A and B are shown apart, each in its own frame.
Chain A
C-alpha cells in the first residue's frame, strides 16, 4: 500500500509491520552516498514528515526513524508507545581511549574534505534534470510545430 511516491522515494505500509504505525520509505538508489545532498535531505525529510503524521494518527508517545543502506537505501518509520514491547537499544561497545582517538582521527580526516571535494559531486541532480525536462517539453511541442510548418510549406 503506497502512501507517497515521487521519482526518488516511495513510502509504503509494510506487509509485516513491527507495530501499529509502521511505514517503509525507499529511495531509488543503492547507497546513501549515491544520493546527492539534496536527495538525502529529501528522503530524510519524507521520513520526518511521515513520523509526524504517524505521531498524530496513532496518538504515539514518540517516533523512530531507522535508515540503513546495506541493501538499498531504506528507512523504517515507527510510531512508538511506552508499552509497544519494542527495544531498539544496543549494547555499547567498550573501546580503549587509544582506539577511540584513532577512530575519531580517521573519521575527522575524511570529514575535513566536506565542503571542498564534495561540492562538485553532491549537487548534480537539479539542473541536468531540469534541462532534460525542458528538452522533453520541446520535443512534445515539436510535432505540432513540424506539422503546422509542413502544412504551410506544402501550401502553394
Chain B
C-alpha cells in the first residue's frame, strides 16, 4: 500500500474526520471553514479544548502553510475566550507530533488547557535532567536552520519590520547618528564662529584631534564626518568667493 492509500485509509477510520463531518457528536465551541474547536472528553483541566484542522493531516509539519497560520492566529482568540469563560490565570498550548511525543490521534490536533499558578498540571514542569553540552552543541545548526525558516517566513506574513536592525558594527555609522537638531546647532555655531570655520576649512586635522581628545568637542561633533564637513565648507567658501567676485580675470582686463 502506498502512502496516499494508507493516508486515505487512515482518514476513513479517523474519529476526528467523523466529528468534522458530523457523523460523530462532539461539543463544538468554535468552527470556521478551516478548523474546529471541541471540548476534550478526557480533560486535563476544566475547559480543556482541542483545536484541529478540518482536513486530515497526521502531523503539524504536514499542515499547509495557510491552514497552519489560520489555526495559529485563531489560537489567540480561542485562548482569550477560554480565559474569559473559565476565569483562569493562563493557558497552555500543547502540541505533540509523533507517538514518542504523546500524540494519540492520527488526525493532527492540539490542546488548549486552562492553567492556574500552582495547579495540579505538574506534567508540564520539565525536569532539568538533559545534557547541557549536547544541547549546546546544536547551537550553530539550529541558528542556521531556524534563521532560514524565519527569513522565508517573515516576507510571507509581510512582517519584515520585525527584523532586528543590523548589529552596531554593521551600521553605516555617521549619518544615522546625527540628529537634525544637533546638526543645526553645529551649523549655527560654525557660522557664528569664524575661527572655527577657518579651522574646519584649513586645518581639519587639528579639529579632528580636538574632537578625539576633548569631550565637549566629541559631543558637538558626535557622528559628524569632519573631513566631509571640511570639504563642504571649502566648496561653499570657494563658491561664495566666486559670487562676490564672479570673474576676476575679466574685471582686471576691464580695469586695464
B85–A69 contact, CB under 8 A? no
**CA of A116 to CA of B218, assembled, Å:** 56
Cβ of A80 to closest chain B Cβ, rounded Å:
4
A42–B123 contact, CB under 8 A? no
Task: Give the residues in chain B near A109, CB-CB below 8 Å.
Answer: 85
Do A6 and B164 contact each other (CB < 8 Å), given the known contacts A33-B79, A151-B236? Answer: yes
B76–A35 contact, CB under 8 A? yes
**CA of A89 to CA of B232, assembled, Å:** 72
**CA of A54 to CA of B130, assembled, Å:** 15
**CA of A84 to CA of B126, assembled, Å:** 12
A68–B103 contact, CB under 8 A? no
Cβ of B87 to closest chain A Cβ, rounded Å:
10
Can you list 28 contacts pairing A with B, beta carbon distance less than 8 Å?
A4-B147, A4-B150, A7-B161, A38-B73, A41-B73, A41-B76, A44-B75, A46-B146, A49-B149, A51-B60, A54-B138, A63-B96, A64-B96, A64-B102, A68-B124, A70-B89, A75-B93, A78-B101, A80-B101, A88-B94, A88-B102, A95-B43, A103-B46, A107-B81, A143-B175, A143-B182, A147-B187, A151-B232
Q: Which residue of B lies closest to A14 (CB)?
A: B135
Q: Which residue of A lies closest to B178 (CB)?
A: A143
Interface bracket on B: 35 or more
Partner of A104, one of B29, B93, B150: B29
Q: List B119-160 residues whose CB lies under 8 Å from chain A.
A: 120-121, 123-124, 126-132, 134-136, 138-139, 141-143, 145-147, 149-150, 153-154, 157-159
Task: Give the residues in chain B near A51, CB-CB below 8 Å.
Answer: 60-61, 95, 97
User: How many chain A residues have a CB neighbour from B under 8 Å?
Assistant: 105
Do A66 and B93 contact each other (CB < 8 Å), given the known contacts A92-B44, A113-B81, A144-B175? Answer: yes
**Taking beta carbons and an 8 Å cutoff, which residues of B are in contact with A?**
27-30, 32, 37, 39, 41-47, 49, 60-61, 68-69, 72-86, 89-103, 110, 115, 117, 120-121, 123-124, 126-132, 134-136, 138-139, 141-143, 145-147, 149-150, 153-154, 157-159, 161-164, 175-176, 178-180, 182-184, 187, 191, 232, 236, 239-240, 243-244
Cβ of A19 to closest chain B Cβ, rounded Å:
4
Q: List A8-58 residues whose CB lies under 8 Å from chain B.
A: 8, 11, 13-23, 31-33, 35-42, 44-58
Task: Give the residues in chain B near A16, CB-CB below 8 Å.
Answer: 128, 130, 132
Task: Give the residues in chain B near A40, CB-CB below 8 Å.
Answer: 72-73, 75-76
Partner of A17, one of B60, B130, B239: B130
**CA of A79 to CA of B146, assembled, Å:** 14
A62–B99 contact, CB under 8 A? yes
Task: Give the residues in chain A near B147, CB-CB below 8 Å.
Answer: 3-4
**CA of A123 to CA of B158, assembled, Å:** 13
